[in-house]
Amino acid sequence: MTSILALAAARDWSVILGFIFGGCCSNAWATEVATSQNPNAGSLMTLAQFLIVSLMGLPSQLCFVPSDSKTKETIPFTFRSILRQPTRILSVRFKPRAIPISRWIIQVVLFLLTSLLNNAVFKFDIPMYIHIVFRSAGLVTNLLLGYFFAGKRYTSIQIVSVLIVTLGVFMTTFSTRPRRVDAASLAKGEDNSNIDYMIGIAILTGALVLSSAMGLAQDQAYAEYGRGHWREGLFYLHFLALPMFAPLWPDVQEQVRIANASPIINATAFFGTSKTEIGIPVFWIPLVLNIITQLVCVSGVHRLTARVSSLTVTLVLAVRKAVSLVLSVMLIGKSGGNAWLWGGSFFVLAGTILYTLDGTKPPQREPSQVSASRKQE
């Protein structure tokens, strides 16, 4: 019996870690490929991700209402029941929520804005590895917001850890600052690289602050209603945001038009056959991969959240981001980076681990620092 339980646990952990390291690292690669083809596709990419996650999570939030009005218990929803008895679709309802809808709204707005900013930043020529490091630096904004707005207090080690992370972020930011151009280009007004780069960094900083604010709001809700409702949170954070894309619809339509106008490739060539040609615009391939890997990534992260403490989640995600950084620089960027990049990345990872290890002490335990980073994976 013990061996069976051990095998089941090993299988579950293999799935979780496979989803996180395989899904999240693949998602970073797919995002980099997609944005390299069309840096302005942030709205389209975000909408597609939110739509797919909502559709996949919808069945878990539905139920059947019993025909007997005296019975208050609901019946779990299954597609098999609909196929067997199509009329049962009339009795489908959203199942009762563990957390009131009003507590999700503020998180939805913050989550949507964070996702849009994170995907929009690529139009300003911000490399993926800078993106990864910035999203790993949530400790800084979490500490500041927690201190000033949530009345939280931190140990000396935690403060030093955040200073180390801050140093790492500054080093990494300056590692890819645009090079100076010649005087002739400056005279013609052709150099906008520094301005674009600083705008991109400002957008990443804004996304980091919003992400930390969402983390604090999420912690307050989970502290009041319990932390075992990750499926509900995953669904409503994406589903309730869909109507908010209405003002962005013209931009999404334009991005679809640009995607359809990308070079056509023969999809059947991937399967080793040339008898039938199916032409598809090349941009849709990394976009679809991005959506699929995003779904796998968030599923793995939320499965992990349901099993271990938030401190363990922080460590696992820190290692995952380190792997993504190496892949982005060495394999995708095909460069060795520089001392500023690797030194800054080391400080961010070391500061995160130091903060987490200090948080294992019960009196100073600070769970909020993982909530925002967990949701942007």
**Each residue's pLDDT tens digit, 125-165:** 788 778 877 777 777 787 888 888 878 788 888 888 888 88
By three-state DSSP, how is residue 301 classified?
helix
Rounded CA-CA distance 207/131 in Å is 11
Instruction: Assess whether pLDDT exceeds 60 at residue 371.
Output: no
- Average pLDDT of the chain is 79
pLDDT computed for residue 373 by the predictor: 46
Res 140: pLDDT? 78
Higher confidence at residue 268 or residue 207? 207
In this prediction, residue 322 has a pLDDT band, given cuts at 50, 70 and 90, of confident
pLDDT attached to residue 335: 66
Closest CA to 377 of 115, 15, 109, 41: 115
Q: How far apart are CA 342 and CA 89, in angstroms?
A: 56
Residue 119 in this model has a pLDDT that exceeds 50: yes
Q: How confident is the model at residue 372 (pLDDT cuts 50, 70, 90)?
A: very low
Q: What is the pLDDT of residue 269?
A: 64
**What does the pLDDT average to over 49-69?**
87
Specify which of 203-207, 277-281, 359-363 reaches the highest per-range mean pLDDT: 203-207
Both tokens assigned to 187: 């005279």
The pair of three-digit structure tokens given for residue 89, joined into one six-digit string:
């679709």
- Report the C-alpha gap between 307 and 204 in whole angstroms: 30
**Distance, CA of 95 to CA of 100 (rounded, Å):** 12
Q: Indicate whether 311 pLDDT > 80.
A: no
pLDDT value, residue 333: 63
pLDDT surpasses 70 at 374: no
Cα-Cα-Cα-Cα dihedral sign, residues 273, 278, 280, 284: negative
The amino acid sitting at 88 is: R
Average pLDDT over residues 293-319: 75
Strands 264-266 and 75-76: unpaired
For residues 187 and 53, the model is more confident at 53
With cut-offs at 50, 70 and 90, classify the pLDDT of residue 191.
Answer: low
The tally of CA atoms less than 13 A away on the side-chain side of residue 369 is 35
If DSSP codes are grouped into helix, strand and coil, which group holds residue 41? coil
pLDDT for position 108: 92
Round to whole Å and give the CA distance between 218 and 110.
Answer: 11
Phi, psi of 94, rounded to the nearest 5 degrees: -70, 135
Asked if residue 51 lies in contact with residue 242, where contact means CB atoms within 8 angstroms, the answer is yes
Predicted local distance difference test score (pLDDT) of residue 255: 92
Is the confidence at residue 5, as pLDDT, over 70? no
Instruction: Return the minimum-mean-pLDDT range out of 175-179, 217-221, 290-294.
Output: 175-179
Strand order in the sheet with 92-94: 75-76, 62-64, 92-94
Q: Which two tokens stand for residue 342?
A: 């690797």
What does the pLDDT average to over 23-28? 87
Tokens of 55: 């559709």
Rounded to 5 degrees, what are φ and ψ at 191? -100, 105
* Spatial distance between the Cα atoms of 266 and 285, rounded to a whole number of angstroms: 11
Instruction: Compute CA distances 283 → 31, 64, 261, 267, 290, whole Å.
Output: 11, 40, 9, 12, 11
The larger pLDDT score, comparing residue 226 to residue 5, is at 226
- Determine the pLDDT at residue 275: 64
